[in-house]
Structures are given as structure tokens and as C-alpha cells.
Amino acid sequence: MGTDPSQDRAIFQPIDSSTFVTSPPGYGKTHVMTERIRCLISSKSINPPNKLLVLTFSNAAANEMKDRIGRNIPNSGMYVDIMNFHALAYYILRTYGNYIGVDRYFTILNEEEILQFKKNYFEEVLSDEINENAGKLYNIITEYNSWYTKKFYNVKNAK
């Protein structure tokens, strides 16, 4: 696949400059990123243990990028980490979450588990509150947020 002049500008920019690549699906963003990474590696701008971090919005895009880079750049794992934004957040919380009160051995709940947590909340905390404090929605929401934070994130001393 060839590139046009605007793609070439993004691919061959100096390492200390930034670029924003946007276009509709199928217009070559992944190709441009792959070529940009190849350019940075081949010019020795990136040398292990330093790595590039490539972020995408979806697992599908991250997997596609990993596949293309793996096919086109030998030993690409030494030079680049590719993940979506959620995976990056997960990695950061696993590594440093304890500094902000998040148990680093937390788990990510699926939708069914989240619904069960909410059901448990209403059964455990609100059964009496709803009858006694029907007009105090703010207090109920505040109490729910505290309960949810403690249970879901395993945060100690949540307010």
C-alpha cells in the first residue's frame, strides 16, 4: 500500500514532534501508524529498553495493530507496547493503585456482576431507608456511592 503526502508527513516527522491522524474507517490510519513505528525503529530513535506506547480505542484495533506490526517489524515486542485505553488504565491501577487506596488485586466485573452488586445494595442498605427517607434522594445516592466504592473497588475509608 502506498502513501500520500499527508500520510508521509505523519510517518516521517521528527521524534520530538506530535501529529494527530484522523480519517474515516479504511483510509489507512493503521498503515500510517505501522509505518511511523517502523520509521522510528529503523532510524534508531527508539532503543530498548525504551519503548513506544501505542494506544487505540478498542481491543479489535489493538489486536489489528499488533498483528500488522508483528508481521512487518522483526522483534517488535522489544520496541512497542500496543493496547487500548482500558488496558492501560488496568495496568496503571494494578501497578500503582495501592498509592490511591485501590487494592492492586482488584477484579473487573462484567455487567451481570455489576447488576448483582446493585441488587445487593438495595437489599442490604436501602430496604429501610426507602420507607423512612423517601424524600432524601441525595443522602441515598451518597450512601450508595460510598457502599459501591467500598465493595467494587475494595477502597478502604471511602466517604
Start-to-end C-alpha separation, the chain:
55
Which domain covers residue 115, as residue numbers? 111-153
Together in a domain, 74 and 122:
no
Together in a domain, 94 and 120:
no
What's the pLDDT tens digit per position in 4-63?
A: 898 999 999 998 888 888 888 888 888 898 899 989 988 988 888 889 999 988 888 899
What's the pLDDT tens digit per position in 64-118?
A: 889 988 998 888 889 999 999 999 999 999 999 999 999 888 888 888 888 788 7
Tell me if the pTM is above 0.75: no
Within-domain flag for 105: no
Evaluate if residue 130 carries a pLDDT over 80: no
Spatial separation of the C-alpha atoms in residues 32 and 85, rounded to whole Å:
20
Together in a domain, 82 and 44:
yes
Within-domain flag for 49: yes
pLDDT of residue 10: 92
Within-domain flag for 158: no
Together in a domain, 59 and 123:
no
Q: Domain containing 59 — which CATH number? A: 3.40.50.300
Within-domain flag for 60: yes
Together in a domain, 63 and 35:
yes
80-84, 115-119, 128-132, 144-148: least confident range: 128-132
Spatial separation of the C-alpha atoms in residues 115 and 93, rounded to whole Å:
23
Number of structural domains the chain divides into: 2
Within-domain flag for 18: yes
Q: Which residues of 131-146 are buried (b: 16+ CB within 10 A; e: fewer)?
A: eeeeeeeeebeebbee
Q: Which residue has the cell 455487567?
A: 111
